Amino acid sequence: MDFALTEEQTAIFDMAHAFGQEHIAPHAREWEAQGTIPKELWPQLAELGFGGLYVSEQAGGSGLSRLDATLVFEALSMACPSVAAFLSIHNMCARMLDSFASDEMKARILPKALTMETVLSYCLTEPGSGSDAAALKTRAEKTNEGFKLNGTKAFISGGGYSDAYVVMCRTGEDGPKGISTLYVEDGTPGLSFGGLEDKMGWKSQPTRQVQFDDCTVPHDMLVGEEGQGFKYAMAGLDGGRLNISACSLGAAQTALNMTLQYMSERKAFGKSIDQFQALQFRLADMEIELQAARTFLRQAAWKLDTKAPDATKFCAMAKKFVTEAGSKTVDQCLQLHGGYGYLADYGIEKLVRDLRVHQILEGTNEIMRLITARHMLAN
């Protein structure tokens, strides 16, 4: 078993890391204060091929593996996990379109998505359906003019900011089989947005409810087939769970690096605090946990790339383990900074806030345990 990255994979990581440190890290706190990410950033990322990381090369994407993609998100989240996670959402949508949209629709929509002239948001969650996603109520009735869409989506990253929304909605019976996917462009009559959510973390990502009131969506904006939308939505989640895990990993690694530097400079009782054995043990525990998390994440990505039968189980297990390891690490790093860790100037408290939501989205960690147990019992 070879655990080494290839030269190409190392180059991918280094390219993403260099871009993040130059173009994202210096502005992360400013963008958080402003509550938005400059739209000009996305075409710059797209020039590196990051607008369609695992969109097929035939469709104009980068055609990277899921393992390759985790390297991109780990590297970018070392600059800002909020920005990196938003890019993950766009890529999940682009992959859905590449996998399930008609050739005509792809030719019409994908080129601008890949250059990130069109930024995409994913609309599944509703005020009354989170973990029970198949219970969604947003409904689209088929008419001569198109689909008449009514309902509300909640916690949408990019709500009122993105250029188009990939929307899961009910076109048929209750349950998963009655769900379809529509592509709704910004400016469509009947599309509106709630107020900006005031969140604990991910503050640079504008988050709003997305509302549909007799929103007429043309027939040719149906993604794939009617009644297949829930399957499409779920197909992207394994990769999404790996990406959000990679965002936790990269941010936690940054926090640990910053903590090592701080402890080498901070003096107490006549010596730097990295010379106290009790604190060295804490550092060792964090390093061990992060290295285990990195190995687990890359194994799960490899299983997804090779279409292993237990890939979904491993993606769920990795998501649970890595996101909790990331949050635990940044919290410990804050503690080791003492009072300074609580100050915004040191950057640690932002990482604590940003990473907390990773245990909730892309399926809560409770759902990750449920998926794992179901696979165990089925076997």
Rg (CA), the chain: 21
* Residue 138 Cα distances to 9, 17, 294, 361, angstroms: 41, 39, 38, 20
Q: How big is the chain, counted in residues? A: 379
Q: What is the DSSP string of 299-356?
A: HHHHHHHTT-TTHHHHHHHHHHHHHHHHHHHHHHHHHHTGGGGGSGGGSHHHHHHHHH
Are 228 and 180 a contacting pair, CB within 8 Å? yes
User: Which residues share a beta bridge with 253?
Assistant: none
Catalytic one of 32, 126, 197, 362:
362
Distance CA 256, CA 291 (A): 12
SS3 230: helix
**Is 197 in the active site?**
no
b/e burial code for range 170-204 (CB count within 10 A of at least 16 → b): bbeeeebebbbbbbbebebeebbbbeebebebbbb
Distance CA 321, CA 121 (A): 26
Distance CA 170, CA 150 (A): 10
Distance CA 312, CA 73 (A): 20
Query: What residues are annotated to the active site?
Result: 362
